[in-house]
Amino acid sequence: MRQVRMLMRGLVRRCPRCGSSGIFSSWFGLRDVCPRCGLQIEREDGYWVGAMTISVVSTMLLFVVLMAVAVIWTWPNLPVVELIAGGVVGSIVFPIVTYPICKSLWLATDLAFFHVEAGKLPSSAE
Ligand SMILES: [Zn+2]
- Average pLDDT over every residue of 36-56: 93
* Domain around 114: 2-125
Q: What is the pTM of this model?
A: 0.83
**Predicted local confidence at residue 118, as pLDDT:** 64
Q: How many domains does the chain have?
A: 1
> Does residue 120 register a pLDDT over 70?
no
Distance in Å, CA 33 to ligand 1 centroid: 8
* CB neighbour list of residue 43: distance below 8 Å, 6 or more residues apart: 118
- Amino acid residing at 39: L
Distance in Å, CA 38 to ligand 1 centroid: 6
Distance in Å, CA 60 to ligand 1 centroid: 31
Distance in Å, CA 80 to ligand 1 centroid: 47
